[in-house]
Amino acid sequence: MIAQPERKIALWHLGVAYTAFLIGTLMGVLQVFIRNDALQLPAWLDYYQILTAHGVLLALIYTTFFIFAFFITGMSKSLGSFGPKVRLFSWIGLWVTLLGTVMATVMIVAGEASVLYTFYAPLKANGFYYVGLALVIVGTWISSFALVGHYVVWRRNNKGQLSPLFAFMTVTTIVLWIIACLGVVATVLFQYIPWAFGWTDTINVELSRSLFWYFGHPLVYFWLLPAYIAWYTIVPKLLGVKVFSDSLARLAFVLFILFSIPVGFHHQLTEPGISNFWKFLQVVLTFMVIVPSLMTAFSMFATFEISGRKKGGTGLFGWFKKLPWRDVRFTSIFIAMVFFIPGGAGGIINASFQLNEVVHNTLWIVGHFHITVGTPVAMTFMGLTFWLIPYLTGRRFTKRMQRLGFVQIITWSIGMLLMSTAQHVLGLMGAPRRTAYSGYNGHPSAMEWFDGIISNHVTMAIGGTILFLSAMILMYIVIMTMFISPKAETPEQMVEFPLAESDMSHTPKWLENWWIWIGIAAALIIIAYAIPLTHMIQHAPPGSKGFITW
């Protein structure tokens, strides 16, 4: 069991995370009924208000607080207890991030920030909304530097040794996060805040969007890499085997630093003002990110087969039957991995020059987002929740909770499959995203979108309803394991933090030379961004005044 101070910090992070999750999922179920034209909101609440709250609270706040709870727990477990300075700055990071969250949420609830979680200019929110978002980033940086400080102390005390795999992967994710945040920090501090408070009259829209997507795509990997950490370091322990390859795992994470950041233009393929050459270059770099994902898939299925055959599985697929399907922690993560297969394929479509023209502003993108972040990432976090909270609270994860856990992950899978598939198909038919319900005055072409069994907003609403019910089951499990379930009294009843052993005897030490990878990442970023961003600044249009359309 990790030290009490670290447990307390991690539990606070989880408490905030699941508070945001509860509100965010409620906003989500309201959305699908509005798009189905089955619900009318009261005059004081509008669709874009709840759409913004849904995106910010789930995609930004829930994930961020959960990830840092996971990192704090794992770093304390793998590197030893935190020192007093690390604990102090972890608390400061938590409170600064929470302050920013409250500020941004208040602005959304007050109707002052219905700009969606991408907050595209020239839509203009209250200046304090952007201040709140800036504080969220600053708070995560404080927490990040605290964890990196703990890692540096360990390296100093263990010279010449490679760090444990969990710690290496955590630092890799933090490095990616800090580099990625430079773009959104730059645009919020130097563009949005002066513009929103009236200190400047206009904003360079193309520059603001480019800086956002410099951050926005690696943000996806900030969500995904903690799930990969669980896949690499926890799943093998659940299976009773070692990590398949320590060096492969480390190399895969290093490649994410290199190739996940200089790719933001593939979100802007339909926008003018960016040369096709720079778009194409970043599309090529985007496809390079597929390599570490395929390395991860290979490693995972090799781990499954080694475990299954170790337990007596024979034949081509006999190992598959020997996997621990009755352990909800494993089953939830396995289902999450399976969902990532169509999610990754959809990402390849989105990043393709010509195919992006077909799907860019449609519900396809919403479906893709949910089947990548809302399932592989969220379901992995759910599987982690089933042991992380009992481990931190010292409470039992009872058989009743295990059964409810299976109900929760099955209903989440069904709901996401229905909703996401409907969104994909509706998007291919032409249904737009970022909009409330629109029947286009009964135009026949628009009405065709709603004719099919799958291509139907009713199907999407049914899937969203099942997802909301699944979320409520998860909230019940969270509350029970955090406050009510009986305390573990024997070692057999205690939930352990299951970190797998890793053979580092053949792992080259240069994989942990951070200056090499940060230097190469910086070079790639300069190649991909320096000239087009300079062009946007030097040849800037007059700029746009702010618009409030709600």
- How many Å apart are CA 517 and CA 486, to the nearest integer? 47
Q: Is 267 a catalytic residue?
A: no
Give SS3 for 434: coil
Per-position DSSP letters for 380-425, written without gaps between them: HHHHHHHHHHHHHHTB---HHHHHHHHHHHHHHHHHHHHHHHHHHH
Task: Tally Cβ neighbours within 10 Å of residue 438.
Answer: 11
- How many Å apart are CA 349 and CA 356, to the nearest integer? 7
Contact (Cβ atoms closer than 8 angstroms) between residue 239 and residue 319: no
CA distances from 237 to 197, 226, 240, 499 (A): 52, 16, 5, 6
Q: Is 221 a catalytic residue?
A: yes
Q: Is 396 a catalytic residue?
A: no
Exactly one of 35, 370, 395, 457 is catalytic; name it: 370
Contact (Cβ atoms closer than 8 angstroms) between residue 12 and residue 98: no
Q: Could you tell me which residues come within 8 angstroms of residue 185 by beta carbon, excluding any fewer than 6 positions away?
A: 134, 137
Exactly one of 155, 309, 360, 434 is catalytic; name it: 434
- How many Å apart are CA 244 and CA 266, to the nearest integer? 33
Q: Is 433 a catalytic residue?
A: yes
Exactly one of 7, 150, 266, 433 is catalytic; name it: 433
Q: Could you tell me which residues come within 8 angstroms of residue 505 by beta carbon, excluding any fewer than 6 positions away?
A: none
Exactly one of 217, 266, 329, 395 is catalytic; name it: 217
Judge if the upstream peptide bond of residue 376 is cis by omega within 30 degrees of 0: no
Q: Is 370 a catalytic residue?
A: yes
Give SS3 for 67: helix
Exactly one of 47, 48, 192, 221 is catalytic; name it: 221
Per-position DSSP letters for 79-147, written without gaps between them: H-PPPHHHHHHHHHHHHHHHHHHHHHHHHHHTTS--STTTT-TTB---HHHHHHHHHHHHHHHHHHHHH
Exactly one of 13, 150, 266, 368 is catalytic; name it: 368
Exactly one of 21, 232, 330, 369 is catalytic; name it: 369
Taking alpha carbons only, the member of 183, 191, 223 closest to residue 55 is 223
Q: Which residues are catalytic?
A: 217, 221, 368-370, 433-434
